[in-house]
Amino acid sequence: MTEAVQHSNIFKSMKDIRFEDTISHQCGITMNDSVEARAIADVMESKKGVTVTYQPSLIRIDGDPKLIFNMEEISEALGRSMTPHLFEISTSTHYGRMVMVDDNTVVVFGDMQEALAYIEH
């Protein structure tokens, strides 16, 4: 008998939402459910400060204050090469500032001040 895997869920009903006058450093990506998306989610699930939420047709990955996607880790989980460009194609949408910091790493920043270090002027 297979045991059900329990995943965190960031979605709340309106009655459970509390509005605050604060700045959030949260960030995240949403992907259509696919082989690539599941490999990315598998890698990210074990990282500190990361929440992976599975919906029927999408996977959402949220973090605070940033998400670091290492293409070598994802390639290993996927069983084939993942590049930053293929990674961006796999994501449906994101919030925060997405930056390709090198040929192996994509970072989504929740803190815009931190992201500014990577933006060309």
- Report the distance separating Cα 55 and Cα 77, nearest Å: 21
Q: C-alpha dihedral over 43, 49, 54, 57, to 10 degrees? A: -80
Q: In this predicted model, what pLDDT tens digit does every residue of 9-46 receive, in sequence order?
A: 666 677 887 777 777 899 999 999 999 999 999 999 99
How many Cα atoms sit within 13 Å of 93 on the Cβ side? 3
Indicate yes or no: pTM above 0.85: no
